[in-house]
């Protein structure tokens, strides 16, 4: 599938983007191992979170839906999961594989986790190493890549673990293993990352102790069913935030978006660049802060993005690079080497795509240097990365001609009907198989 996006236009209206992917994943995982029935609303019906749902169905959990974002999970308790008949196929979802490796390391049965070609290239030693230090038996393919094979019956023990990199997936993996471990498990992170795991574990009745950069849980633990309202995903909203900022005459309101402070780096970065972003109707739903986000077009300026904001916007950088290409002056990104091990090497792929569109963009080891200017018509490759495809779609709002983006099937992993919603908001986009 490819996207063809005509030049120009503006974004307007009130829209609600799909549910938060991170929270959708965790709601299925925690609801499945809780005691009782959990009701989820706003669930993201994208391929990544559906792969998590199917994995737990394969392990004997009765799950109804999703239907219009509603899911009912009949939890089986901490020890109620059953050995699946075959390997758990997780598609493109790194979150599923890394979090499940922790949750399943304390089970009584053997299990294998596998994924698609893209996921099979992603590094998994960052989770297998701490799990091994807890006593789990997890093996990988050559080079520490998937598939992961987890042996059952391990007597895992709590540990104190200092994360070598800022990664919410690794932090969550260790904490989920800690649910099944004997004693206290603590994780200390070098910089703040999204804390959906800690918030949701508290909502399911498992106390997470926070002290500075350290989060601790005591195992073996138990979870009690609860209801979760999944807010709209700020990572999906970010495309429209940038689009409305760079397209003259735009004014758009993004409804009921999660504004967890560990996820709002994109708002902070865009505001530093001069974006006109207003948070209205702020509230708290199920332990997560939400708001409507109103964005009006503005002239952005290039900046050196503060490194402390990088982990708080790590998934939004593809479209932040597009914002930088439309800004006046130079934008410098450093401290973002984590982008090289996402669904694609997002530093190199974005640099290549921007250069193909005539933008002066230079990849560095840990980021990029971008000179704002004119975006030309052209053809770019997403390398099967959903966020790359959607970022370049928004670039067409300021391009001199149409932009064609190849390999866009994986947009469905996080944003079903992106084309329909973007079209309704004013982007001249169509998909072509």
| 184, 168 Cβ separation under 8 angstroms | no
Closest by CA to 84, choosing from 102, 58, 103, 108, is 58
Find the DSSP H helices in 165-246: 168-178, 196-203, 234-246
| 28, 73 Cβ separation under 8 angstroms | yes
Rounded Cα gap, residues 54 and 29, in angstroms: 11
Coil, helix or strand at residue 19: strand
Closest by CA to 134, choosing from 171, 170, 101, 177, is 177
- pLDDT tens string, the chain, 433 residues long: the values are 999 999 999 999 999 999 999 999 999 999 999 999 999 999 999 999 999 999 999 999 999 999 999 999 999 999 999 999 999 999 999 999 999 999 999 999 999 999 999 899 988 999 999 999 999 999 999 999 999 999 999 999 999 999 999 999 999 999 999 999 999 999 999 999 999 999 999 999 999 999 999 999 999 999 999 999 999 999 999 999 999 999 999 999 999 999 999 999 999 999 999 999 999 999 998 789 999 999 999 999 999 999 999 999 999 999 999 999 999 999 999 999 999 989 899 999 999 999 999 999 999 999 999 999 999 999 999 999 999 999 999 999 999 999 999 999 999 888 989 999 999 999 999 999 7
Distance of CA 206 to the CA centre of its chain: 23
| 12, 425 Cβ separation under 8 angstroms | yes
Closest by CA to 254, choosing from 238, 276, 271, is 238
The predicted pLDDT at position 287 comes to 81
The predicted pLDDT at position 433 comes to 78
Decide the pairing of beta strands 35-41 and 228-229.
parallel
The predicted pLDDT at position 397 comes to 98
Rounded Cα gap, residues 334 and 71, in angstroms: 40
- One of 233, 292, 315, 384 is an active-site residue; which one? 315
**Could you check whether 2-17+231-432 and 21-218 share the same CATH topology?**
yes
Element (H, E) at 320: helix 317-325
Torsion sign, CA atoms 354, 358, 363, 368? negative
Eight-state DSSP code of residue 154: -
- Joined tokens for residue 385: 């990365």
State which fold the 21-218 domain adopts.
Answer: UDP-n-acetylglucosamine1-carboxyvinyl-transferase; Chain (3.65.10)
CB neighbour list of residue 244: distance below 8 Å, 6 or more residues apart = 10, 11, 250, 251, 252, 295, 296, 297
Coil, helix or strand at residue 128: helix
Q: Give me the residue spans of the domains in the chain.
A: 2-17+231-432, 21-218
Q: Nearest 5°: CA angle at 381, between 380 and 387? A: 105
The structural architecture, per CATH, of the domain 2-17+231-432 is Alpha-beta prism (3.65)
Find the DSSP H helices in 34-93: 47-58
Q: pTM for the complete prediction? A: 0.90
Q: Is 315 a catalytic residue?
A: yes
The radius of gyration computed from the CA coordinates of the chain, to the nearest angstrom, equals 21
| 205, 227 Cβ separation under 8 angstroms | no
Find the DSSP H helices in 190-248: 196-203, 234-246
Q: How many CB atoms lie within 10 A of CB 326?
A: 26
C-alpha to C-alpha distances, 400 to 171, 200, 281, 359, nearest whole angstrom: 44, 45, 37, 12
The predicted pLDDT at position 91 comes to 94
Closest by CA to 102, choosing from 123, 74, 141, 129, is 129
Element (H, E) at 113: strand 111-114
DSSP letter string, 273-298: TT-EEEEEEEEEETTEEEEEEEEE--
């Amino acid at each position: 599938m490819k996207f063809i996006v005509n030049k120009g236009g503006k974004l307007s209206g009130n829209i609600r983007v799909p549910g938060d992917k991170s929270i959708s994943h965790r709601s299925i995982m925690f609801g499945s191992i809780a005691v009782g029935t959990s009701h989820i609303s706003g669930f993201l019906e994208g391929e990544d979170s559906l792969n998590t749902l199917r994995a737990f169905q394969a392990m004997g959990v009765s799950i109804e839906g999703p239907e219009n974002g509603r899911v009912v999970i009949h939890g089986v308790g901490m020890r109620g999961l059953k050995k699946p008949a075959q390997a758990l196929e997780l598609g493109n979802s790194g979150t599923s594989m890394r979090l499940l490796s922790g949750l399943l390391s304390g089970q009584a049965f053997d299990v294998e986790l596998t994924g698609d070609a893209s996921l099979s290239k992603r590094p998994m030693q960052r989770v297998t190493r701490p799990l091994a230090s807890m006593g789990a038996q997890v093996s990988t393919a050559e080079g520490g890549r998937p598939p992961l094979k987890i042996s059952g019956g391990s007597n895992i023990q709590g540990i104190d673990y200092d994360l070598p990199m800022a990664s919410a997936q690794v932090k969550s993996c260790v904490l989920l293993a800690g649910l099944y471990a004997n004693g206290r498990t603590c994780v200390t992170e070098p910089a703040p990352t999204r804390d959906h795991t800690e918030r949701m574990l508290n909502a399911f009745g498992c106390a997470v102790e926070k002290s500075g950069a350290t989060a601790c849980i005591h195992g073996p633990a138990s979870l009690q069913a609860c209801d979760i309202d999944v807010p709209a995903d700020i990572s999906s909203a970010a495309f429209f935030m940038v689009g409305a900022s760079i397209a003259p005459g735009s004014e758009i309101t993004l409804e009921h978006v999660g504004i967890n402070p560990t996820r709002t780096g994109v708002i902070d970065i865009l505001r530093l660049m001069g974006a006109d972003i207003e948070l209205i109707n702020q509230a708290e739903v199920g332990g997560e802060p939400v708001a409507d986000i109103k964005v009006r077009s503005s002239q952005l300026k290039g900046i050196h993005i503060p490194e402390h904001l990088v982990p708080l916007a790590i998934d939004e950088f593809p479209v932040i690079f597009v914002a930088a290409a439309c800004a006046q002056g130079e934008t410098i990104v450093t401290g973002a080497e984590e982008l090289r091990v996402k669904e694609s090497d997002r530093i190199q792929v974005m640099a290549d795509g921007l250069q193909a569109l005539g933008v002066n963009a230079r990849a560095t080891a840990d980021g990029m240097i971008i000179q704002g200017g004119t975006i030309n018509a052209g053809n770019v490759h997403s390398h099967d990365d959903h966020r790359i495809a959607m970022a370049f779609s928004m670039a067409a709002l300021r391009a001199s001609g149409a932009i064609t983006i190849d390999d866009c099937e994986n947009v469905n992993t996080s944003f079903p009907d992106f084309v329909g919603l973007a079209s309704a908001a004013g982007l001249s986009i169509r998909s072509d198989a």
